[in-house]
A and B are shown apart, each in its own frame.
Chain A
Amino acid sequence: MPALPRQRREPSGGIKFVEMSNRKTKSNILVRAESLSQVQRILRERFCHSTHGELFGVQVQYKHLIELLKRTAIHGESNSVLIIGPRGSGKTMLINHALKELMEIEVSENVLQVHLNGLLHINDKIALKEITRQLYLENVVGDKVFGSFAENLSFLLEALKKGDRTHSCPVIFVLDEFDLFAHHKNQTLLYNLFDISQSAQTPLAVIGLTCRLDILELLEKRVKSRFSHRQIHLMNSFGFPQFIKIFKEQLSLPAEFPDKVFAEKWNENVQCLSEDRSVHEVLQKHFNVNKNLRSLHMLLMVALSRITVSRPYLTSADLMEAHQLCSMDSKANIVHGLSVLEICLIIAMKHLNDIYEEEPFNFQMVYNGERRIRYFLSGTSLMPENTNVLIDYSPEFQKFVQRKAHSVYNFEKPVVMKAFEHLQQLELIKPMERTSVNSQKEYQLMKLLLDNTQIMNALQKYPNCPTDVRQWATSSLSWL
């Protein structure tokens, strides 16, 4: 039985004590594994699946929203509001919090909620069916078929009146990905919802969530005029010190955690981390790129997945490696895996771009340019004014190509074409216009989607790069 390094100081003892302590460490491992599993469960749910997290720095907006909802639920007032904020800024969390608080009030027993999503309900027919379903009105609708959307919708809402004509259930509509609803035909659903919210029929609250700041320009005039122009903006307006506080709070275990001793140690560790300089650096780098909570959650999740029973507490090294994993340059990674021939093609294209200032090229030009430039680099004389890249079938060129030292790069044209097509498949080069049947592959104009710094950086890391290829890349043809 391997002995684990002890966390607590044990008094020295005899053999019997060692046996007992071995048993203790075994049970310690079990207890620790159980606690770790719990920790993982809680934190993973918080990072990956939370729609009921805590709110940071949005108290004003929250108050505004909950007031509005209360007015609809309690006083029967119809309202509409748009919640606007970039991706990951907490719009869904805000509305979920507000609805949860609303439902806890006694008076809100008969408030109905309808949740629609622009990604799922891609046209008004589907949206209407979903509204019917969520309001449990399928038995009421039955076989009734109406002409227009407005008639359908008003029938549904009429059906929600309980007995007394004056008491009707307030309905709260939450429309996620609101900008996608604005792309439906004639914006019928939006028009009708806002219309009902303006005319004094069923008390209706329409809440739209969107990431587009220019959402109002997407709405038609008649829809826009019925909208109350109320907007709540969530702008991730916290600074770096608050970001660190959020980091600490997100990693801490709640007070209800069963293993109190472990939870205390864990939270202490988190406190140490939030004061550690290297962790600050990592967080600063992360904060500079992406402020929102979702990306922080991704970073923490990757760091969290590295803890094991033998290393049960997070360290700053975990966070640094997690940050590195999350911020890799993907194009550089792809270039790393190309064959030498493909790298030569990319360098030839880079030189063509330098010479001809980003004009599009085709395969034939690259193939010849490559040979021409290597011809130049081999030290043979070439008049500087000769700027055209052209097949030179003169005898000296043939001799050059057959020279032994360069025979390793003397590939047949179809082989080079296959490498070129592979680059096209990886979308590192792109045709300028769609391929037509009439034109040959070699003459189709292309564009390179890598820029010079990316190419040079990738070449630095390229494994076993042949020296003459590297020299060719860095040679500046400044006399051209």
Chain B
Amino acid sequence: MPHLENLVLCRESQVSTLKSLFGERHHFSFPSIFIYGHTASGKTYVTQTLLKTLELPHVFVNCVECFTLRLLLEQILNKLNHLSSSEEGCSTEITCETFNDFVRAFKQVTTAESLKDQTVYIVLDKAEYLRDMEANLLPGFLRLQELTDRNVTVIFLSEIIWEKFRPNTGCLEPFVLYFPDYSIGNLQKILSHDHPPEYSADFYAAYINILLGVFYTVCRDLKELRHLAVLNFPKYCEPVVKGEAGERDTRKLWRNIEPHLKKAMQTVYLREISSSQWEKLQKDDADPAQVKGLSAYSHVELPYYSKFILIAAYLASYNPARTDRRFFLKHHGKIKKTNFLKKHEKTSNHLLGPKPFPLDRLLAILYSIVDSRVAPTANIFSQIASLVTLQLLTLVGHDDQLDAPKYKCTVSLDFIRAIARTVNFDIIKYLYDFL
């Protein structure tokens, strides 16, 4: 079908396999088909387009949207009802509480004239969420053809492979179909397909080439790549619009766009800044480093003592307790060499994660690193509590342990180095792992 091929690019063999499996309208097909493939490999789009173009009676349900049994079953029945009685307008909504009611209602709805003698297709998208619903739902849907004794095929679409779905005591095995990932040629073809009409196809294809060169090793998700292509195209066209370069000056255009794309990888791709901020950035031509990211860390401004408390907490989490003497006492005397055979330790604390420490240790380290005298007032304690609220520290253990609370520091090394720099404190010197 040439019309179908224009709608669905690079998926000819999958379309023809599905079409041949569906067969003619009144033929029986597999009781269940399981289609899996990476995200954005076209499973939902191809299935929907194929069913709509061939005008086969089908119901399309998303398991993220219908996350309980009742929502799922009622939506299927109501959509079927609409299919079978299109002239009468809104008929009564069907309610259904259990799978048994669903089977009975389904048998009734499919005896309608417009649905008789035809295969009815039920498509369940994001089928991996079915595993977390009631245990009889997945095996029930796999066997729906047998349980209802009707001509129905259930199609499951998912990213996860079938082996992770199979119930423990077995079930009726569906036919498993794989939607392969797009090759780089296919990606180029699909991305070049939505070029804006003002520019030539070659110009856009060259842009896509550059974009794929930067992003292909990191990400092959078509949706992400399309989003990035749309966001960054105005910046690419800038030299042409300003008149500095022609459409064919590929080197100049490349030199203009490449650092921009690299910046995009660290910000927009990670959703550190929003797309609207990114677009504003391009228009104002501001320095990207000045942009405030979306993550909480870049918005935090702590008071002076809080910074030291955080640094002390970091040191307490990542240094073993026995090394405190060496770091924090002015005169620590002789240290035996046997204490320091770090080369025999398997992994450093920076790989295992922060360790919990008691409050006393935190205060001891705090007093030693702050130059001036710090009195243990309620001020200090309330700052510790607000650090916990900001989730820079976490409370470990029971809430009812009031006399000796234990904390853990949950900030990254880069963040704490930035903080330490603002108070002129060289934290690397005090960290055990960097001795």
- Contact pick for A386, options B136, B147, B171, B343, CB 8 Å: B343
Pairwise interchain contact B38-A334, C-beta atoms closer than 8 A: yes
The reply to whether the CB of A51 lies closer than 8 angstroms to some CB of chain B is yes
User: What residue in chain A is nearest B21 (Cβ atoms)?
Assistant: A305
The reply to whether the CB of B352 lies closer than 8 angstroms to some CB of chain A is yes
Given A126-B100, A415-B265: A87 and B172 interface contact (C-beta under 8 Å): yes
Pairwise interchain contact B217-A122, C-beta atoms closer than 8 A: no
The stretch that binds B, out of A18-26, A140-148, A271-279, A325-333, is A325-333
Nearest CB of chain A from residue B343's CB, rounded to whole Å = 7
The reply to whether the CB of A251 lies closer than 8 angstroms to some CB of chain B is no
Q: Which residues of B contact A187 (CB under 8 A)?
A: none
Q: How far is the CA of A341 from the CA of B180 in the complex (A)?
A: 19
Q: Which residues of A contact B146 (CB under 8 A)?
A: 49, 51, 92
The stretch that binds B, out of A106-114, A188-196, A197-205, A418-426, is A418-426
Interface residues of B in 14-29 (CB under 8 A from A): 17, 20-21, 23-24, 26-29
User: What residue in chain B is nearest A359 (Cβ atoms)?
Assistant: B346
Q: How far is the CA of A298 from the CA of B177 in the complex (A)?
A: 12
Instruction: Give chain A's interface residue range (CB within 8 Å of chain B).
Output: 35 or more
Pairwise interchain contact A368-B351, C-beta atoms closer than 8 A: yes
Q: Which residues of A contact B428 (CB under 8 A)?
A: 393
Q: How far is the CA of A356 from the CA of B69 in the complex (A)?
A: 44
Nearest CB of chain B from residue A303's CB, rounded to whole Å = 11
Pairwise interchain contact A48-B161, C-beta atoms closer than 8 A: no
Pairwise interchain contact A339-B180, C-beta atoms closer than 8 A: no
Pairwise interchain contact B36-A330, C-beta atoms closer than 8 A: yes
User: What residue in chain B is nearest A340 (Cβ atoms)?
Assistant: B217
The reply to whether the CB of A294 lies closer than 8 angstroms to some CB of chain B is yes
Pairwise interchain contact B30-A48, C-beta atoms closer than 8 A: yes
Q: Which residues of A contact B266 (CB under 8 A)?
A: 412, 414-415
The reply to whether the CB of A120 lies closer than 8 angstroms to some CB of chain B is yes
The stretch that binds A, out of B3-11, B137-145, B250-258, is B137-145
User: What residue in chain B is nearest A51 (Cβ atoms)?
Assistant: B146
Q: Which residues of A contact B136 (CB under 8 A)?
A: 118-120, 122, 180
The reply to whether the CB of B394 lies closer than 8 angstroms to some CB of chain A is yes
Nearest CB of chain A from residue B150's CB, rounded to whole Å = 9
The stretch that binds B, out of A39-47, A62-70, A97-105, A373-381, is A39-47
Q: Which residues of A contact B23 (CB under 8 A)?
A: 40, 44, 305
The reply to whether the CB of B45 lies closer than 8 angstroms to some CB of chain A is no
Given A211-B170, A294-B173: A364 and B27 interface contact (C-beta under 8 Å): no
Nearest CB of chain B from residue A347's CB, rounded to whole Å = 14
Given A179-B169, A298-B173: A48 and B31 interface contact (C-beta under 8 Å): yes
Q: Chain B, 154-184, contact with A by CB distance < 8 Å: what is the 0/1 string? A: 0000011111100001111101111011011
The reply to whether the CB of B302 lies closer than 8 angstroms to some CB of chain A is no
Q: Which residues of B contact A415 (CB under 8 A)?
A: 218, 265-266, 269-270
Interface residues of A in 376-406 (CB under 8 A from B): 385-391, 393
Pairwise interchain contact B21-A337, C-beta atoms closer than 8 A: no
User: What residue in chain B is nearest A180 (Cβ atoms)?
Assistant: B136
The reply to whether the CB of B358 lies closer than 8 angstroms to some CB of chain A is no
Pairwise interchain contact A119-B143, C-beta atoms closer than 8 A: yes
Pairwise interchain contact A365-B351, C-beta atoms closer than 8 A: yes
User: What residue in chain B is nearest A392 (Cβ atoms)?
Assistant: B434
Pairwise interchain contact A362-B170, C-beta atoms closer than 8 A: no
Pairwise interchain contact B28-A328, C-beta atoms closer than 8 A: no
Pairwise interchain contact B159-A464, C-beta atoms closer than 8 A: no
User: What residue in chain B is nearest A419 (Cβ atoms)?
Assistant: B218
Q: Chain B, 242-282, contact with A by CB distance < 8 Å: what is the 0/1 string? A: 00000000000000000000000110011010000000000
The reply to whether the CB of B43 lies closer than 8 angstroms to some CB of chain A is no
Nearest CB of chain A from residue B275's CB, rounded to whole Å = 16
Q: How far is the CA of A328 from the CA of B350 in the complex (A)?
A: 41
On A, residues with C-beta under 8 Å from B are 37, 40-41, 44-45, 48-49, 51, 86-88, 92, 117-122, 126, 130, 179-180, 211-212, 294-295, 298, 301-302, 305-306, 325-326, 328, 330-331, 333-334, 336-341, 362, 364-365, 368, 385-391, 393, 408, 411-412, 414-415, 418-419, 425-427, 438-440, 442-443, 463-464
A-B contact pairs, 20 of them (CB 8 A): A119-B99, A120-B103, A302-B21, A325-B177, A330-B36, A331-B161, A337-B38, A337-B41, A339-B217, A364-B350, A364-B351, A365-B347, A386-B343, A389-B347, A389-B351, A390-B351, A414-B266, A419-B219, A426-B160, A438-B408
Give 5 A-B pairs besides A408-B217, A415-B270 with Cβ atoms closer than 8 angstroms: A44-B28, A330-B176, A385-B343, A388-B345, A427-B160
